[in-house]
A and B are shown apart, each in its own frame.
Chain A
Amino acid sequence: MQNDNKRFVERDRDWHPPAYAPGYKTSVARSPSQSLVSLQTPSASELTGPDFRRLRMGRYDNDLLMNFREDPALAGSAGLPAGERIMMFGRVVDQFGKPVPHTLVEMWQANAGGRYRHKKDGYLAPLDPNFGGVGRCLTDEQGWYRFRTVKPGPYPWPNDVNSWRPAHIHVSVMGPAISTRLITQMYFEGDPLIPLCPIVQTLRDPEAVETMTGRLDMARSRPMDCLAYRFDLVVRGELQTYFENQ
């Protein structure tokens, strides 16, 4: 019996996207037709999860301007990726507003032209020889994380005849247990493609879309260097339980 004296706030599955959202065509054949079975009594299986404090990270794991070179000989500005230099940062908190320290935040994205460095992406926009598109870091003691990158471009995808993804960065966060595990996407404030996107539209509540929008933060931008976008992540709230089984 381990960690059985806590609970996480129930996930609101009307707030999250449904499995079956036919506007996003791939979900049609990839959504269960049966109901989920609710575990009435959570156990250590769900209430624990990995702690990555001893995962050894590289110096530039959270700096996408520096962590990929097709040709390692390229240095200085010749070794930097093309595109809008940005810092992406924020805080991971739980639903009670409590910071989530030392948790793993991972991200991946396309380059400035909307092309992914993935062998399955055949979009005609070129790869950037100085951009890989992957980052990771742990949140600090107060729950803050940060990445340096370029703003990704929108890209077309085969859904409707002319569907384009808004600029987005995929974000993955573990939180304190597998119950809080979350993968989402950060969109950029003001992008007119957001309301047109079938994947964004899997969400039924416009307020939920707001939770996925990174905000331009001029105060944290660096003059003559890079802009900053803030994206806070909220994971399920953790609460202690009392008087169970007594």
Chain B
Amino acid sequence: MKQPNSQPTAALLLRETASQTAGPYVHIGLALDVAGLPERDEEIWNRMARPEAEGEHIEVVGTVIDGNGDLVRDALLEAWQADARGEYRPEFDLEQPFNGFGRTATTAEGASEWRLETVKPGAVTRGDGRVMAPHINLAIFARGVNIQLQTRLYFEDEAEANAACPVLNAVESPARRQTLIARREEVDGRVRYRFDIRLQGEGETVFFDF
């Protein structure tokens, strides 16, 4: 029997349930509208901020691209972010103006972009006192992805904070840090950030273990 790696108390620990891919029909369970199923009264979806939420309202869009350069049209993404003041608010309640958690998906149709409506998060301070640049935590689930890929979306117009961010700086290759920076666009007076995720190969997005 194999022991868990680098866990001195391994024998005392239960093993974590093993991960499996979310498969091609993940939408049935976690994105009902995309699957073509009737939605329930309350769904966890991509509108994280209502108009009255505090902060700069933004739209975040992107694609997911595989190692051949082809669109991944069946991915589910989960976002977790601090509010505009840099506070994580665990309580999820669709009646409140802002929720730090959201879901979105790429689909079989058109440009296959995922999309979130949210507010730009504030900077979050780590336990060691170092300040991380504003970011959104993203997890990618899909057919062919055996355990979710965890990444972070940073903002192009936060160059100074990004340069000082201890997490961005933990990425050894400066060129690879760029894969985590969303590009700012303005569309009809609205601020939109574009963040394309490349699972493999040229321009491969940085994924984290934590």
Contacts and interface: CB of A to CB of B under 8 A. Distances in A.
Interface of A: 1-5, 9-19, 21, 24-34, 36-46, 48-58, 61, 93-97, 106-108, 110, 116-121, 132-134, 170, 172, 178-179, 181-185, 199-200, 202-203, 205, 207-209, 211-212, 232-237, 244-245
B29 A30 contact: no
A14 B80 contact: no
Interface of B: 1-2, 4-7, 12-30, 32, 35-38, 40-42, 44, 66-68, 70, 72, 74, 78, 80, 82, 87-88, 90-95, 99-101, 108, 124-129, 132, 135, 137, 139, 141-150, 152, 166-167, 170-172, 176, 199-201, 204-210
A245 B128 contact: yes
Given A4-B127, A108-B25, A170-B26, A12 B4 contact: yes
Q: Is the interface of A mostly helix, strand, loop or mixed?
A: loop
A229 B128 CA distance: 46
Residue from A32, A97, A134, A181 with most neighbouring chain B CB atoms (10 Å): A32
B6 A10 contact: yes
Contact of B147 (A17, A34, A43, A132): A17
A34 B35 contact: no
Given A17-B146, A49-B80, A37 B209 contact: yes
Contact of A2 (B6, B23, B87, B129): B87
Nearest to B68: A29
A17 B18 contact: yes
B7 A12 contact: yes
B42 A34 contact: no
A187 to B, nearest CB: 9
Contacts of B74: 120
Contacts of A234: 14-17
A179 to B, nearest CB: 6
Residue from A29, A53, A119, A179 with most neighbouring chain B CB atoms (10 Å): A29
5 smallest CB-CB distances across A and B, nearest first, come from A108-B29, A26-B144, A4-B127, A30-B144, A50-B101
Contacts of A14: 2, 4-5
Nearest to A34: B204
A112 B24 CA distance: 18
Q: Is the interface of B mostly helix, strand, loop or mixed?
A: loop
A166 to B, nearest CB: 11
A55 B17 contact: no
A39 B199 CA distance: 19
Contact of B15 (A38, A183, A207): A207
21 contacts: A11-B209, A19-B145, A29-B67, A31-B199, A33-B67, A36-B209, A37-B206, A39-B209, A45-B80, A48-B80, A55-B44, A55-B92, A57-B42, A94-B14, A97-B14, A108-B28, A178-B150, A184-B18, A234-B16, A234-B17, A245-B127
A5 B128 CA distance: 11
A144 B137 CA distance: 29
B88 A44 contact: yes
Given A55-B94, A95-B15, A16 B35 contact: no
A1 B125 contact: yes
B148 to A, nearest CB: 7
Residue from A120, A203, A245 with most neighbouring chain B CB atoms (10 Å): A120
Nearest to A8: B210
Contacts of A26: 21, 143-144
A32 B204 contact: yes
A134 B114 CA distance: 22
Contact of B170 (A37, A44, A110): A37
A11 B17 CA distance: 11
A10 to B, nearest CB: 7
A30 B16 contact: no
A178 B85 CA distance: 20
